[in-house]
Structure formats: C-alpha cells, structure tokens
Homo-oligomer: A and B are copies of this chain.
C-alpha cells in the first residue's frame, strides 16, 4: 500500500504537529476554536474570527433533548449503555439534509449565487434577489429560512451583530439578509434560521460549503455528549416508549 498523503497532522516518537504547528505551542497559546479553524483552513483565526466561530459553535451545540440528533443519541444510550461512542455516533448520524444540514446547502447557494452575480455585474443583494426569483419560478424551497420551533431564531441577529461589530460582515451576510427580505416579499415571511446565518458567516470567513455541515457536527457533538451523560446518569435503561399504531394488513391465520 502506498503511504497516505496528508497536510493536516503528523506525529513522531516525541512530537505532534497540526498543520505545521507544534501541538504543545497550540495547547499553551491557543483555544480549541483556534484549533478548529486551523484544522479546516490551515491558519490561526484573527480574534474577531475566533469570536464568530465560538458563537456559531455555541449556537448549534444543543437545542433540547427532543432535537432529532439528541433524541437518537438518547435512545441509543438507553439500549446500549456500555458504548458511549455508539450513542454519540447515533446522534451524529441524524444530522443531515433536514436536520443541521441546511448550512452546507445554503453555503452552496451563496457561493453559486454570488459567483453568478459577479459574472453579471450584480452586487450581493441583487444576486440574492435573483436567486429568490429563480426559486419562485422553479417552486424550489430556499435553504436557511424558517424553523419548526422558532418564529424568530434569536441566534441570527446575535451572530450578524457580532460579525458587523468585528468588521467581518461581507457578501455572505449581505446575500442572506437580502434573500430573507426578498423571500418575505415574494413568498412569505420566513425568518432566517441559524443554518442560514452560520452559512453566511462561514462563507465570509473563507470556508467552503461542506464546512456548514462539519462545523455544525463539531458544535452539536458537545451537546450530544452532555445529553448522553445525562441519559446514563439520570434515567433507567430502555425507559423510552413510543405509541405505535399498526395500520397494515390484518393478522393472517
């Protein structure tokens, strides 16, 4: 087998480097959030960028025991009590297109919408309006808008205010802000959700679309571990019951 190539991390008998940075220097001088940015972008973030990423990771870390990822992790922990990793993984597996996954889809929309806009000489807000127009014509749902629990998602304003205060609000935020307004005008008022907001900010920091999913996972795993810990210490095994109504073919003889 050929050796695997990697530019991320390496270790020898007495040391470890992350993206070329000695691990003990990072441990002494940096925060975990710095390391997350370093792992993904290959550079240490500025203090403002670190603040924004901290806010994003906190913003998605947990949403209550009934959020699908938390619920799946708890059910797994309830049946399989000796395997902590398994329960956390079951929660991670619940993160996808419909739950925690809109971030990456939204980042694809932002990147494509802005690129098309640039080709045609449109600024970010005009580019966003065109994307709404196309979605209306194609009867396509727009990612990053609406939430099944929140009428207003408080994390959106907090995140955008922080980005503006740090001087880090760029075309991503302009695009998503215009998209929300135009969708409200042409479709219906659908407040932006955290996925739309983090997509805007991550775009402006230079992340590529898959990061929308990856960063959500990193943040949510913090909450999943706490949910699993609570399940194991506070609840008895197999306590979760569901009402099920069978409506299939009647019993055969």
Contacts and interface: CB of A to CB of B under 8 A. Distances in A.
A14 B154 contact: yes
Contact of A223 (B9, B21, B58, B85): B9
B66 A79 contact: no
Nearest to A11: B64
Contacts of A104: 84
A228 B214 contact: yes
Interface string A111-127: 00000000000000000
A88 interface: yes
Contacts of A57: 32, 35
A192 B165 CA distance: 45
Contact of A66 (B66, B211, B215, B242): B242
A190 interface: no
A39 B213 contact: no
Query: How many identical chains are in the complex?
Result: 4
A238 B147 CA distance: 11
Contacts of A12: 149
B80 A75 contact: no
A99 interface: yes
Interface stretch (A155-163, A168-176, A179-187): A155-163
A206 interface: no
Interface residues on A, range: 35 or more
Nearest to A79: B99
A150 B15 CA distance: 8
A217 B240 CA distance: 20
Contact of A96 (B39, B64, B69, B86): B86
Contacts of A247: 5-7
Interface of A: 1-28, 30-33, 35-36, 39-40, 42, 53-55, 57-59, 61-66, 68-69, 71-72, 74-76, 78-90, 92-101, 104, 148-152, 154-155, 157-159, 162, 208, 210-211, 213-215, 217-219, 221-223, 225-230, 232-234, 237-238, 240-252
